[in-house]
C-alpha cells in the first residue's frame, strides 16, 4: 500500500459513520484506483502513468471529503432525532411526547388504551411543541376528555433546566386556555422511570401515590384505571387537597413526598410546577 492510500484510509478512520457506509465508499475508491488502463501507444501510456497518481489521489480525497460532509449531515440528523425532554399528559388518556433540543416532537408514546386511541387520531411527530399541543387539544378525541369538570396533569422531564422551564411555561399557558382544571409540574427522570415501570403516566402515578398514602386500602391497580378527575376526587374524600379549592400553586417535592405550596392552598408534586384552577 503506497503513501496516498495510507492517507485515504487514515482519513476514513476519523469519520464517524456506520461501518457499512464507510466500507462501500472505500471500496469504490480502491476499485477506481485499480481500473485497467486502455490500450494506447507507449508515449500516451507513459504520460498517463505520470498523471495517474495525482488524478487518482484527487479522486480519492474528493470522495473522502464527500463522505466527511455526509458524516456531518448524519451527525446533525442524530442531534435532531435525539430526545432531550419528555412531556407527559394525563387526563384519562395518558401519553408522552419526546422532544429534541429544538422543542420539536420526535417521538410519541401511549401509556394506556385511551392514549393509543388519542394518538391514532392526530399526527404530532415533526411538529413544534406549540403546534403539537394545539393539534392535540383541538382534536375531537381530546376534547371529549378536556371538559369543564375534567382534570389535566402535565409533567415535564429534562436535564436541561432552560428547556424544562420553557416547556413548563408553554404547558401552563396551554392549560390556561383549556376548560376544566389542571396542573403542570417538572419531574425528575427517576420519578418518570418509576411511573413508566408501573405502566402509568407520571401525573397519574404521583396522584396514585398520594391517594395510597391517604388511604392504604387503595391499590395501584385501582388507581391505574381511574381518570385524573376520579383520582383528585378520591384524594379530596380521603382528606387530601379539597377538590374544589381555587388558586394557583407552586409545589415542590421528591418521590412521593408533598411540598408546601404558595397560593390559596397547598401544592403537591414531584418536582416543581404550577397548578391551575380548582383541584
More confident residue, 145 or 4: 145
Predicted pLDDT of residue 271: 47
Query: What DSSP state is assigned to residue 16?
Result: -
**92, three cell numbers:** 384519562
Listed range (122-136, 217-231, 263-277) with the worst mean pLDDT = 263-277
Q: What percent of the chain has pLDDT over 70?
A: 58
Predicted pLDDT of residue 80: 72
Burial of 126 (0-12, 13-18, 19+ CB in 10 A): exposed
CA-to-CA distance for 187 and 195, rounded, in angstroms? Answer: 11
Listed range (61-65, 232-236, 268-272) with the worst mean pLDDT = 268-272
Burial 36-47 (b: 16+ CB within 10 A, else e): eeeeeeeeeeee
Tell the residue number behind the cell numbers 369538570, with chain if given: 149
Mean pLDDT of 117-135: 96
Predicted pLDDT of residue 20: 57
Q: Which residues pair with residue 95 across a beta bridge?
A: 89, 110
Radius of gyration, CA atoms only, the chain = 29
pLDDT band at 267 (very low <50, low <70, confident <90, very high): very low
> What angle in degrees, to the nearest 10, is found between the helix axes of 3-13 and 42-81?
10
Predicted pLDDT of residue 53: 52
The reported pTM is 0.63
pLDDT band at 252 (very low <50, low <70, confident <90, very high): very low
CA-to-CA distance for 95 and 92, rounded, in angstroms? Answer: 10
DSSP string, 175-228: HHTSSSEEEEEE--HHHHHHHHHTTS-HHHHHHHHHHHHH-TT--HHHHHTS-H
Burial of 70 (0-12, 13-18, 19+ CB in 10 A): middle
Residues in the chain: 279
- Convert the pLDDT of each residue in 46-70 to its tens digit: 655 555 555 555 555 666 666 556 5
Mean pLDDT of 77-88: 85
Residue 209, pLDDT > 70, answer yes
Tell me the Ramachandran region of residue 155: left when phi exceeds 0, alpha when psi lies from -120 to 50, beta otherwise.
beta
Residue 274, pLDDT > 70, answer no
CA-to-CA distance for 276 and 185, rounded, in angstroms? Answer: 11
Amino acid at each position: 500500500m503506497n503513501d496516498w492510500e495510507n492517507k485515504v484510509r487514515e482519513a476514513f478512520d476519523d469519520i464517524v459513520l456506520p461501518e457499512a457506509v464507510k466500507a462501500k465508499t472505500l471500496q469504490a475508491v480502491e476499485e477506481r484506483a485499480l481500473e485497467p488502463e486502455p490500450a494506447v501507444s507507449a508515449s500516451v501510456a507513459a504520460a498517463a502513468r505520470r498523471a495517474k497518481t495525482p488524478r487518482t489521489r484527487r479522486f480519492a480525497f474528493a470522495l473522502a471529503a464527500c463522505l466527511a460532509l455526509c458524516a456531518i449531515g448524519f451527525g446533525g440528523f442524530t442531534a435532531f432525532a435525539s430526545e432531550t425532554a419528555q412531556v407527559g399528559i394525563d387526563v384519562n388518556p395518558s401519553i408522552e411526547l419526546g422532544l429534541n433540543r429544538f422543542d420539536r416532537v420526535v417521538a410519541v408514546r401511549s401509556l394506556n388504551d385511551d392514549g393509543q386511541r388519542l394518538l391514532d387520531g392526530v399526527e404530532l411527530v415533526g411538529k413544534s411543541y406549540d403546534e403539537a399541543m394545539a393539534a392535540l387539544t383541538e382534536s375531537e378525541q381530546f376534547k371529549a376528555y378536556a371538559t369543564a369538570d375534567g382534570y389535566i396533569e402535565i409533567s415535564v422531564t429534562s436535564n436541561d433546566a432552560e428547556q424544562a422551564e420553557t416547556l413548563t411555561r408553554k404547558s401552563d399557558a396551554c392549560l390556561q386556555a383549556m376548560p376544566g382544571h389542571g396542573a403542570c409540574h417538572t419531574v425528575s427522570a427517576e420519578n418518570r422511570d418509576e411511573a413508566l415501570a408501573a405502566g402509568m403516566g407520571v401525573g397519574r402515578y404521583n396522584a396514585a401515590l398520594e391517594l395510597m398514602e391517604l388511604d392504604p386500602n387503595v391499590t395501584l391497580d385501582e388507581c391505574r384505571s381511574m381518570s385524573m378527575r376520579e383520582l383528585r376526587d378520591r384524594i379530596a374524600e380521603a382528606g387530601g387537597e379539597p377538590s374544589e379549592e381555587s388558586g394557583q400553586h407552586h409545589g415542590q417535592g421528591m418521590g412521593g413526598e408533598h411540598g408546601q405550596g404558595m397560593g390559596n392552598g397547598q401544592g403537591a408534586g414531584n418536582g416543581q410546577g404550577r397548578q391551575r384552577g380548582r383541584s
